[in-house]
Structure 1
């Protein structure tokens, strides 16, 4: 009586999908993922390659037409 089988969970998920719609559930999941990523970076657990490497090493693209020969 206390536990739910896989069939019960599938019925619950189907009802939730019908009530909220799949697009709204997808955007809610995406928002939750972004919030978790921002929280992780804020706590200092973000990967240093994505957070600090781009800010520490600015690059400048120089093309041949930008250089004037004298």
Structure 2
């Protein structure tokens, strides 16, 4: 008695389609899909940036000493 059958879900789907209309539901789906794609792209870009650029750079001078410079994080 606690679970819904496929017929219950079909009736709910028909009622939602009648209330909002199929065009509005399609636009909501496209917007949601675009937001998910943008989020995934942003996460991938952030991982690529953090892996590609080290936070500290080292340079060895002619006299044998090491010059260490911390790179400041800039938001672009």
Runs of 4+ in 1 over 4 A off after TM superposition: none
Partner residue, 1:36 = 36
Measure how far apart 1:25 and its partner are: 0.0
| Bigger Cα Rg | 2
Runs of at least 5 residues in structure 1 that lack an aligned partner in the other structure: 46-70
**Larger RCO: 1 or 2 (CA < 8 Å, sep 6+):** 2
Using the size of structure 1 for normalisation, the TM-score is 0.62
Q: Extract unaligned runs of 5+ from structure 2.
A: 46-76
Q: In the alignment, what sits opposite 1:17?
A: 17
What is the root-mean-square deviation in Å for CA atoms of aligned residues? 1.1
TM-score (norm 2): 0.57
Count of matched residue positions in the alignment of Structure 1 and Structure 2: 45
Which structure: greater strand fraction? 2
